[in-house]
Amino acid sequence: MVPGGVVVQVTDGDTVVLDDGRVVRLIGTQAPKLPLGREDFPVWPLAPEAKKALEELALSKTVQLGYGGEEIDRYDRQLAHVFVDNPEGPLWAQQAMVAKGLARVYSFPDNRNCLDLLFAAEGRARLAGLGIWRDPYYSVRAADAPGDLLARAGHYELVEGRVLLADRSGGRVYLNFGRFWKEDFTAVIEAPALRLFAADEVDPKMFEGALVRVRGWVDDRDGPRIEVTHPEQIEVLAIR
């Protein structure tokens, strides 16, 4: 950890501003979004509540920053884990927000540290039905309902289902969740992601027959699909 400063503003449930002007994005999480000046951008359910919770955790308090990958994004924001100074010891803001059900795990291929702890906190919050996990907007989607997934194109979703076929073709791996690959849900692992899987000694073809949870942005290319850019986007729930 390195000194951060005092939090003088909370922009939303995963972004704060420090007294030296730096904007810090709480890496590893995604809180419900606010418009923040964007026209025609809807307020996600529980976004005001997430902002308020982060204000209660961090506003006007001194924080430390922890870096574990890429440190600055294209918007010139710091990408860091935020630890709030407390008499009992540092409070990890990301874990606290996820544990409250006011953020979910949201990772990147160049910033993958501490995700196991965040996944554990998310799982407990989801089982308890806390925060966003009570709201249908954030429900875990069924892979065998492609029509419902198409309606969520452009959204970040968690999708659960059993992989019918894991097929390597043209430098990528397709995880097919149905027999009609142009209509059913598919997770696509491109070549750069495959190198990360290989570094972790994971062969994506092992997912064939497994019950998995895939998280990512849903698009519509030959049916609903999610592009997988790093291994943590796929959680194995049960093997064959």
101 and 168 in one domain? no
Domain count, the chain: 2
Question: Last residue of some domain: 83, 109, 134?
Answer: 134
What is residue 133's three-state secondary structure?
helix
198 and 153 in one domain? yes
Model confidence over 10-35: pLDDT tens digits?
999 999 999 999 999 999 999 999 99
Question: Last residue of some domain: 134, 150, 167?
Answer: 134
What is residue 151's three-state secondary structure?
coil
127 and 219 in one domain? no
Q: Give the CA dihedral 24, 26, 30, 35, nearest 10 degrees.
A: -20
Q: How many CB atoms lie within 10 A of CB 221?
A: 11
CATH number at residue 148: 2.40.50.140
pTM of the model: 0.92
Question: In Å, how far from its chain's centre is CA 15?
Answer: 15
Nearest to 46 by CA among 14, 82, 18: 14
CATH number at residue 54: 2.40.50.90
Residue 30 CB contacts under 8 Å (≥ 6 apart), including other chains:
14, 103, 104, 105, 106, 156
Determine the pLDDT at residue 37: 78
The residue ranges of the chain whose pLDDT is under 50 are none
Which pair of tokens denotes residue 190?
A: 């491109």
